[in-house]
Amino acid sequence: MKTQLEEIKVSAQADLNNVKTKQDVEAFRTKYLGKKGLLTSILKQMGTVSPEERPKVGQISNDVRDFLSQSIDSKITEIQNAELSKKLQAEKIDVTLPGKKHRIGRCHPSSLVLEEITDIFIGMGFSIVEGPEIESDYYNFEALNLPKEHPARDVQDTFYIDENTLLRTQTSSVQIRVMEKQKPPIYIISPGKVYRADEVDATHCPVFHQIEGLVVDKDITFSDLKGTLENFLKNLYGEDIVVRFRPHHFPYTEPSAELDMQCFSCRGKGCRLCKNEGFIEVLGCGMVHPQVLQNCNIDPNIYSGFAFGMGLERITMRKYKIDDLRLFYENDIRFLNQF
């Protein structure tokens, strides 16, 4: 029996050289340690061994069993390691390869100008507020002294959602929302999208951006309005600009004005850019109408204020000498890359 056990060990050693896969390991285990395996069958003959020999034979068979189990364990580890290194090999990255170049996007010109504008106003102590684009008739018109039959409503072709709900045609609606919520002193600007049912052409688009401004405090006069807006435009366009205030009418300001800037191109002489006017219109403004203050429960005998509104695209076009508004919405990378 001793020799049989020795033979098993020798044959197992030879077999081990051919064990390459998990299936091979299982076959090996069955061949030697299975119920009908070689070692098991030999051990069944233990009864025939003399009592003196038995401990010795027992010892050898234990050694052979240990040898077989250890061989199986180390084969399994070997196979698992091989699988892992194959996987790692497949996932290997060559860190010395040059990287892929990512194209970096640019800010849209109107975002750049808006950022500049908000920075200037923040520098003068203003805060930024936003209002809803879907607005009620009350905030967009009624509270701004534009009752239902007012002719000035026709100037702004409105997208109505229902009788009382619309896409705001002007950011002036935010003035009312702010004054309802906040008591003076108020120093805010409010940038945002506005909508008008206009045909698309080089200077019109049904959606564009405005920046509204509102100041309400004690002793605010037209000089404050002039000083604030002149300072703003000098910061944006340079110290040497020339501005003029031209009387105008807006229902929510009294008196009202439009601010024009001398044409950069001809310096006031008149050219194609300014349509021979010498000046270009920049924004609308005025002293907040006492009725508008009252609509928001602010006492016009104690407080006064000024307001203004400008079109962001127009200011951006002027700043970068862009002559067609449609370029703003086409997202042509050749256009956007220039800023």
Q: Which two tokens stand for residue 72?
A: 């199986």
From 100-108, 133-141, 197-205, 280-288, span contacting ligand DAH (CB under 6 A)? 280-288
Question: Which of residues 184 and 286 has its CB atom nearest to ligand DAH in the complex?
Answer: 286
Q: Does 195 bind ligand DAH (CB under 6 A)?
A: no
Residue of 212, 264, 317, 325 that binds ligand DAH (CB under 6 A): 212
CA atoms within 13 A on the CB side of 200: 8
Which range binds ligand DAH by CB under 6 A, 157-165, 229-237, 264-272, 307-315?
307-315
Question: Using the 8-state DSSP alphabet, how is residue 107 labeled?
Answer: -
C-alpha to C-alpha distance for 39 and 36, rounded to whole angstroms: 8
Residue number, 232 or 250, with CB nearest to ligand DAH: 250
* Residue 295 lies near ligand DAH (rule: CB under 6 A): no
Of the pair 245, 328, the CB lying nearest ligand DAH is at 245
Is 173 a binding residue for ligand DAH by CB under 6 A? The answer is: no
Please select the residue that binds ligand DAH; options are 174, 188, 285, 292, rule is CB under 6 A: 285
Q: Is 253 in the site for ligand DAH (CB under 6 A)?
A: yes
Interacting span for ligand DAH (CB under 6 A) from 34-42, 57-65, 77-85, 306-314: 306-314
Residue 281 burial class via C-beta count within 10 angstroms: exposed 0-12, middle 13-18, buried 19 and up: middle
Record the tokens describing residue 312, joined without a space: 């962001």
Task: Answer for the pair 63, 39: CB distance below 8 angstroms, yes or no.
Answer: no
In angstroms, give the least distance from the CB of 143 to ligand DAH: 13
Does residue 270 sit in helix, strand or coil? Answer: coil
Q: Which stretch binds ligand DAH (CB under 6 A): 48-56, 283-291, 295-303, 329-337?
A: 283-291
CB 156 within 8 A of CB 141: no
Q: Is 131 in the site for ligand DAH (CB under 6 A)?
A: no
Q: Residue 61 or 210: which CB sits closer to ligand DAH?
A: 210
With binding defined as CB under 6 A, does residue 284 bind ligand DAH? yes
Number of residues that bind ligand DAH (CB under 6 A): 11
Beta-sheet strands, E only, within the chain: 127-128, 134-136, 160-162, 165-167, 186-195, 207-217, 243-250, 253-262, 279-288, 304-311
Binding ligand DAH (rule: CB under 6 A), the pick from 61, 110, 172, 304 is 172
Which residue stretches of 105-191 are H helix? 109-123, 137-140, 173-181
The pairing of strands 207-217 and 186-195 is antiparallel
Q: Which of 309, 314, 316, 318 contacts ligand DAH by CB under 6 A?
A: 309
**8 Å CB contact between 128 and 188:** yes
Using CB under 6 A, pick the residue from 61, 71, 170, 316 that binds ligand DAH.
170
- Compute the distance between CA of residue 121 and CA of residue 117 in angstroms, rounded to an integer: 6
Binding site for ligand DAH (CB under 6 A): 170, 172, 212, 250, 253, 284-286, 307-309
